[in-house]
Each structure stands twice: as C-alpha cells, then as structure tokens.
Amino acid sequence: MSKTIEEINEKIREGKAVVVTAEEIIGIVKQKGVNKAAQEVDVVTTGTFGPMCSSGAYLNIGHSKPRIKLGGGKVYLNDVPAYAGFAAVDIYIGANALPDDDPRNKVYPGEFNYGGGHVIEELVAGKDIRLVATAYGTDCYPRRRLETWINIRDLNETVLFNIRNACQNYNVAVNLSDRTIYTYMGVLKSDMGNANYSTAGQLSPLFNDPYYKTIGIGTKIFLGGGIGFVAWHGTQHNPNVLRSDNGVPRRGAGTLSVIGDLKQMSPRWLIGTSMLGYGCTLTVGIGIPIPILSEEILQYTAVSDDGIFAPVIDYSDAYVQLKPDILDEVSYAQLKSGKIVIQGKEVPTASLSSYPRAVEIATILKEWITSGKFLLTESVAPLPGVESGITFKPLKERPLEE
C-alpha cells in the first residue's frame, strides 16, 4: 500500500480524508493491525506544548517621521531589550531576553517575572507595547530617540521564528546534591526528591516520525495557534544517537526550526513563562500532520509511551560538567505513572510540557484537516537524517591568553 500527498490532499478537498491523532492511532493499530489501519487512515496529527527557549520574533515596525535607524542602536520593548543589528526598523525579540534592571539571580533564586517571552505573548494578545529606542543618527536617518506605543495590528511583518523547537526527546532531570537547585527543568529537590521531564511522549511530532521521513523543510504545521512551516532543522539537531528497535531515539536527537505569521497566532498557544532561578522563556504550541504514505510510516505513528525511553540525568553535576553519565533510562509510560525508581529510590515525577494541551493541538489540527481548510505540503528538502553524519560538538574552547 502506498499513497501520495497529492492523493491525500484530494481526499481532504473532498472532505473524505480520515484523520486521527497520534493518541487515537495507537488503539486503531492494536485493533485493526498495521495493514488495515494504513489503508484506512490518511493523516495522523501530533502535538506538543512546552517551554521552548530558542524562540523569538522579528518585527518590522515601519518608518518614523523623520526616520530613525535602529540598527546599531538600542531598542527596548516593555523594558526588555530587543536585538537591533539589522536594517533601520527590523528588530528581533528573543524569549530569554530580560530587562536590564531585572535582579536576575542576585536575589537567589531569581523570580524572572517578565522577559522576552512575555513581550511576545502580550504582543500576540493585541496589547500595546512600549517601545523605547536610541540611535546614533545619520544624514538619512537623523532621529536619535523614539518612544512610542506599538501594537501588532499596526506593524508590518510580525514573524515568530524559533531556531530550536519540538525537541525529539529530552532528559529526565533529577538532583543528586543535598540542596534544592533551580534549573530550566524546573525546581529540583535535593537527593532526587523529584524528577522532571518535558515532552508529550506518544503525541510529540518527532517521536511519530523518528527518521524524518515526512517532516522536512517546508512542512506546513500548527504553530502558536496559526499556520507555520518548518524552516530548517533546529540548532543542536543530532540525529545520530542511540535508538530503540522502533527507531525512536533514546537521547535528545532531532530538533526543528519553525516560522510563522504572529498575527494569526493566539496567546493561548504562546505563553510567557518564568523558570524560577533560571530565566524567562516562551511556551510554544506546535502540531505537525503526518501523511500516511506507507505502512512503515503508519507503524512509526503507532508508537506509544511504553516504547519511548529517556535518559535520567543529574542536573547538579553530570549535566553541569557535560559528563556523559546517565543514571538510568525510563519510559514515558513509567514517567506518566507519577513515579519512577532510580537507584532503588522511588522518585515522584512531574512534567513541564502539557499533555492535555498537546492533545488539544492534535485535535485542532485534525479538525482543520477534516474540514478541508488545511492541506498537506510536500517537503522541499529533507531534514538531515542518521546518514548525514552530523554530530553535536561541544565548544572547542581556546583561551584568549596563555
């Protein structure tokens, strides 16, 4: 059995496509078998909703009268610095940016109540944002200071452009030390008092297409409540890691860079987020449709939490010191049971990414496709796969002075 994306799109246009979520497909395959399920199902939708730090947005704010050249100057959005290293009125706001006067971790653990992620959420929510900029002034762009309210509806391009999202797998974080630590994986209590994980498991996009056979550059996706695209592989994309027999990586592996129009998006799916003692970030909703082109591809989407494994890592030492040490490997089924046993100790688990919201994303995407308003795209180039030979290199540090 094999189908093409064009055939599936034809069915979508006719309102005849059979679309199920990556959660629903598990039961369907159990009941009907791979062969029959692959004939019946046309698309499987996935979803994930979690903090994704390498996110940000670029904005073109339009020219002021007289003109100002923000490039090379300084720009603040609600006191949060935006990057102004482009042309006159293009700026980029990163999710982790913090106001200059934020105390950070001076009062430990820092609260990180407001940062770039929050600016993006408020912008998308249609709130006015305070822009304060200084520039050096040129003959053609003489103005040196700009203070104005801006609103997303008045701006030119407003584009979410995230350079690493939707990580294929992620560490389970614990803390072996004797004090509480504050990490990007949440608050970790001493002596393995808790274990935090952060993927949607069986619903997560890249777990359902482990070898990137359908998801590639140009794939149309659900992004932040609107429509976006896979722009490239994400930073730290590392396909060449240990994998299970079902192809699913057992370590952090593939990542995606995604792009989409902020004006279509909604603050329900882009949430400014504060990690105590760590910093600010953005919680992003992503959903990716997987066209069932063959039985093999369907088989991948049938993966369930008991077939996906993640490494348990000590964030008080091994992670910090870039040591390869892994305490154990656990399945997402074990993680979701609420406790895991590590080195003989029962450790309660918690998730940083929201499974119910991942289900909601997969369901919305399913509705978009079933109702004919979302057609699938053929990717224009594949993501680097296992054969690419990519390895994830540590920094080769060369001290400046001997």
Instruction: Show the tokens assigned to 182.
Output: 């504050």
Q: Which has the closest alpha carbon to 44: 159, 241, 214, 223?
A: 214
**Which listed residue (78, 171, 238, 273) binds another protein by CB under 8 A?**
273
Q: Give CA separation, 165 vs 47, 133, 138, 199, 308, in Å.
A: 12, 30, 38, 11, 19
Positions in 275-294 near another protein (CB under 8 A): 275-276, 283
Candidate residues 143, 220, 243, 357; the one interacting with another protein per rule CB under 8 A: 357
Residue 21 interacts with another protein (CB under 8 A)? no
Is residue 352 involved in binding another protein (CB under 8 A)? yes
Give 388's contacts (C-beta < 8 A, 6+ positions apart).
239, 240
Instruction: Identify the residue among 189, 244, 377, 384 touching another protein (CB under 8 A).
Output: 189
The residue among 265 and 275 lying less far from another protein, judged by its C-beta, is 275
Please identify, using beta-carbon distances, which residue of 49 and 368 lies nearer to another protein. 49
Regarding 187 and contact with another protein (CB under 8 A), the answer is yes
50 interacts with another protein by CB under 8 A: yes
User: Measured between alpha carbons, how far is 353 from 301 in angstroms, rounded to an integer?
Assistant: 20
Site for another protein, residues 138 to 177, rule: CB under 8 A: none
Measured from the CB atom, the residue of 23 and 42 that comes closer to another protein is 23
Query: In this chain, which stretch among 13-21, 32-40, 48-56, 130-138 interacts with another protein, using CB under 8 A?
Result: 48-56
336 binds another protein (CB under 8 A): yes
Total residues binding another protein (CB under 8 A):
33
> Which of 111, 128, 295, 329 touches another protein by CB under 8 A?
111
Stretch touching another protein by CB under 8 A, among 91-99, 265-273, 318-326, 389-397: 265-273
Please give the positions annotated as active site: 140
> Which residues in this chain contact another protein in the complex, by CB under 8 A?
49-51, 109, 111, 113, 186-187, 189, 193-196, 271-276, 283, 336, 338, 348-357, 359
